Structures are given as C-alpha cells and as structure tokens.
C-alpha cells in the first residue's frame, strides 16, 4: 500500500470537516502545535540538565583524583 492519492485525501479531509467542524480544526492544530513545542522544550531542558550533571560529576572525579595524587605525594615526602 502506497500513499493515498489526491481524491482519497480530499475525501478524508471532507470527513474530518464534517466530524469536527471548520472552526474546531484550527483549534485542534493550535493545540497540537503547542503540545509539540512544549515537548521539544522539555527535551531540551532535560538535555541541558544531563550536561550540567555530567559536568559536575566530571569535576568531582577530577577533584578526588587530584586529592589522591596530593596525598600520595605528601606520603612520599614524609617517607
């Protein structure tokens, strides 16, 4: 099965207009558009939070490794 042809699309459009009415269709499209926009915004915020969290984790790991290195060098100096 391929894509519907032009007459089939017109029939589907006519049925949609009959079911929902001409005034309701723009409202539905606006609602779908805002829903998609909010979804994209939430996904972008999640990605930013993950980047901040991973950057913070990397810094903590670096700080711990630096602390361990400094402790080892102090132990060598004492010995």
Q: What is the pLDDT of residues 29-77, one digit of tens each?
A: 899 999 999 999 999 998 888 888 877 665 665 666 666 666 666 666 6
Domain span holding position 49 = 1-56
Does the residue 38 lie in any domain? yes
Please state the domain count of the chain: 1
Does the residue 79 lie in any domain? no
**Can you tell me the distance from the alpha carbon of 43 to that of 29, in angstroms, rounded to the nearest whole number?**
21
Sign of CA dihedral 1, 33, 28, 25: negative
pLDDT for the residue numbered 58? 57
Does the residue 68 lie in any domain? no
Does the residue 64 lie in any domain? no
């Amino acid at each position: 099965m391929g894509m519907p042809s032009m007459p089939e699309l017109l029939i589907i459009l006519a049925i949609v207009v009959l079911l929902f009415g001409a005034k309701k269709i723009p409202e539905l499209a606006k609602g779908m558009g805002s829903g998609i926009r909010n979804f994209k915004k939430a996904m972008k915020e999640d990605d930013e939070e993950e980047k901040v969290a991973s950057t913070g984790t990397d810094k903590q790991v670096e700080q711990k490794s630096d602390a361990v290195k400094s402790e080892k060098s102090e132990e060598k100096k004492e010995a």
